[in-house]
A and B are shown apart, each in its own frame.
Chain A
Amino acid sequence: MTGDVRYEIRDLKFAYSRTPVLKGISAKIRAGDFIGIVGPNGAGKSTFLKVLAGLIRGYTGNVEFSGTAISKMGVRQLSRLVAFVPQETHLVFPFTVSQMVLMGRAPYRSAGPAGLFDSRFDLDRAERAMQMTDTLALANKTFTQLSGGEKQRVVLASALAQDPEVLLLDEPTVYLDLRHQIHFYDIVERLNAEKKTTVISVTHDVNLAARYAHRLLAFRDGTIHADGTPDTVLTPKHLYEIFEVSAAVLKRPDGRGNYIIPTS
């Protein structure tokens, strides 16, 4: 069933200059899954995600996408399969929302003079992505003037315009208020359910992870400490080992998994 596997990672190691950050990560990520990556600061979560996104190259070990090593793919080929949403996007130049979303069509743009204009098809794909993210009404606004929540939805729209098979989210809601956090992840959940887009999301918020993800990878000190459903990963024992905090695990009243209350 290798056709079902999106990412296959074997013994991934990476160091920034001399400090090792990833110390031998192995994991298989299946198509259509919704993966949450949790763990303390400095555990290597974001670095891991950046390797998957093709933003970090000099690693050792193997990272394959649908059977092909991503190190052998060009950035263009990878960008048609995988899209990335960072924590924040700072712009110097006042691009409009439309322009930002249309840049998501760059992986499909002809490199020659024909790629100078936006095609009808590109506009349609961008419009569809903006409908899915509730950003169509912002189309002619300047990106820099949007609120944090609007910005992240626009960046998500730009990522969706890439028509990716996998969506990588690097703490996308860390600077958003509660309402916008839920709004963002509800959109992502719908994409995962309706379009079968594979989602891999890094988050500090174990409760967000427990609510939305189907499978959690808990990172600690550059390794995967626990791997499984939210219920099996987010136990008081694991939480103590990973975050070094005591926590109580309670049932959510709406039946959507558990929620965690730190008690120390």
Chain B
Amino acid sequence: MDAATTSFPHPESAVRGLSAKRFFAVIGPCVLIFIVVLGLTPLVGDRGISLQGLTGSGAEHDILTIIRLPRMLFGALVGGALAVAGVLFQALLRNSLATPFTLGISSGSSLGAVLAIWLGMDVIFLGIPVISIFAFAGALITIALVFFIARSSGGLPTFTLLLAGVTLNFVFGALVLFFQYASNFAQTYSMTKWMMGSLNVVGYSPWVRTAPLAIISVVVVTILSPRLNLLAAGEDWATTRGIHVERLKTASYLIGSVLTGAVTAFSGPIGFVGLVVPHTLRMIAGPDHRILVPGSFFLGAAFLVLCDTAARTLLSPTEIPVGVITALLGGPFFIMLLKRKPGELW
């Protein structure tokens, strides 16, 4: 039963693995959606962009390059990063309801931002808004606290991790409420607005600051993705198949958290992307992380850019908080997916 029976001609094997062909058959459409959404949405708005606007140098051109493109690029980055972080946390906690904010990062960032607003530090330092610096610091402190609370004897038990994250979420949430209570009306408004999340950034600076980190993270997570499959199937399952589980969990936690903290520092917490995008892709293409990770990045980017386009145009010139749109658009779509009969795609 050796070389002779396994050699060519090999009939189509019953075992269905992931070939490059199958990989691109799924990732290809994701990239296509990504390109179409990013190509078309900057042209949509209360002021249309003509062909002249694309090439010329008039007001339309300025709207496109100074306002809409940076906002779209940043939105794509935030959406992609949050979706990938969602995939990571779901594998790490073996729970498809986990989100990038389950372990307390949103309340840590919010506490940082609220503190900055309360201190009246609504200024720019070295080209970065101080609020964002505070928000990122808040996220990093949360990450470190959760990590050291949950860490025990060289391990990172999932249950303790979840408990530490959820507890800190409440503690920081209470502190956020306290600072809101101790602030004046204008400050409270800024705080609430920040915590709703927004992609209304000025210029390319937020994008430039977060893109390298986000793109490196996504590449690293894609390389880790075969191992995430084993982790998602179980810790003993992974260990007995040669995966250094504690190392993988620590890496997943830190990468997912820093990624989330970095984009949230500029956008504020935007919910639902990290839940709905990985889940949708999982229902269509299965739970293989080698597809989920890169696929979620492209679909997450497209989804958030689409939502943001709706946010800035539906009630134009008033803007709807983009988090409201992600939930209003994502929720019903998600329920539709849940209710579809098994076997049919839609």
Residues of A in contact with B (beta carbons under 8 Å apart) = 53-55, 74-80, 82-84, 86, 89-96, 98-104, 106-107, 109, 111-113, 115-118, 120, 122-124, 126-128, 130, 136-137, 139-140, 158, 162
B51 CB to closest chain A CB (Å) equals 41
Question: Are A104 and B234 also in contact (CB < 8 A) when A122-B17, A127-B14 are?
Answer: no
Q: Which of B20, B229, B290 contacts A95 (CB 8 A)?
A: B229
* Residues on the A chain within 8 Å of B222, using CB: 116
Residues of B in contact with A (beta carbons under 8 Å apart) = 1, 6, 10, 13-20, 23, 94-96, 222-223, 225-227, 229-230, 232-234, 236-245, 282, 286-288, 290
A118 and B220 alpha carbons, distance in the complex (Å): 19
Taking a contact as CB atoms under 8 Å apart, the answer to whether B17 and A98 are in contact is yes
- Nearest neighbor of A80 in chain B, beta-carbon distance: B242
Taking a contact as CB atoms under 8 Å apart, the answer to whether A93 and B234 are in contact is no
* Residues on the A chain within 8 Å of B287, using CB: 93-95, 99
* Residues on the A chain within 8 Å of B13, using CB: 123-124, 127
Taking a contact as CB atoms under 8 Å apart, the answer to whether B6 and A54 are in contact is no
A113 and B221 alpha carbons, distance in the complex (Å): 11
B144 CB to closest chain A CB (Å) equals 26
* Residues on the A chain within 8 Å of B245, using CB: 75
Q: Which of A95, A113, A126 contacts B17 (CB 8 A)?
A: A126
Taking a contact as CB atoms under 8 Å apart, the answer to whether B242 and A106 are in contact is yes
A93 and B333 alpha carbons, distance in the complex (Å): 21
- Nearest neighbor of A155 in chain B, beta-carbon distance: B237
B184 CB to closest chain A CB (Å) equals 47
A190 CB to closest chain B CB (Å) equals 13
Q: Which of B10, B230, B237 contacts A89 (CB 8 A)?
A: B237
Taking a contact as CB atoms under 8 Å apart, the answer to whether A86 and B236 are in contact is yes
Name 24 interchain pairs, CB-CB below 8 A, sorted by A: A55-B239, A55-B240, A75-B245, A79-B241, A79-B242, A92-B94, A94-B282, A94-B286, A95-B229, A95-B232, A98-B16, A102-B15, A104-B241, A106-B238, A111-B223, A116-B23, A117-B17, A117-B18, A117-B23, A120-B10, A124-B6, A128-B6, A136-B14, A136-B15
Taking a contact as CB atoms under 8 Å apart, the answer to whether A55 and B18 are in contact is no
* Residues on the B chain within 8 Å of A96, using CB: 16, 286
- Nearest neighbor of A113 in chain B, beta-carbon distance: B223
Taking a contact as CB atoms under 8 Å apart, the answer to whether B240 and A117 are in contact is no
Taking a contact as CB atoms under 8 Å apart, the answer to whether A103 and B240 are in contact is no
Taking a contact as CB atoms under 8 Å apart, the answer to whether A75 and B242 are in contact is yes
Taking a contact as CB atoms under 8 Å apart, the answer to whether A89 and B234 are in contact is yes
Taking a contact as CB atoms under 8 Å apart, the answer to whether B232 and A115 are in contact is no
Question: Are A78 and B242 also in contact (CB < 8 A) when A92-B95, A93-B282, A116-B226 are?
Answer: yes
A51 and B10 alpha carbons, distance in the complex (Å): 40
B53 CB to closest chain A CB (Å) equals 40
- Nearest neighbor of A100 in chain B, beta-carbon distance: B233
A124 and B240 alpha carbons, distance in the complex (Å): 21
Taking a contact as CB atoms under 8 Å apart, the answer to whether A54 and B15 are in contact is no
Taking a contact as CB atoms under 8 Å apart, the answer to whether A118 and B94 are in contact is no
B225 CB to closest chain A CB (Å) equals 7
* Residues on the B chain within 8 Å of A92, using CB: 94-96, 232
Taking a contact as CB atoms under 8 Å apart, the answer to whether A115 and B226 are in contact is yes
A192 CB to closest chain B CB (Å) equals 17
A99 and B289 alpha carbons, distance in the complex (Å): 11
3 smallest beta-carbon distances between A and B, as pairs: A118-B17, A79-B242, A76-B242
Taking a contact as CB atoms under 8 Å apart, the answer to whether B240 and A123 are in contact is no
A189 and B244 alpha carbons, distance in the complex (Å): 31
A92 and B243 alpha carbons, distance in the complex (Å): 19
* Residues on the B chain within 8 Å of A102, using CB: 15, 17
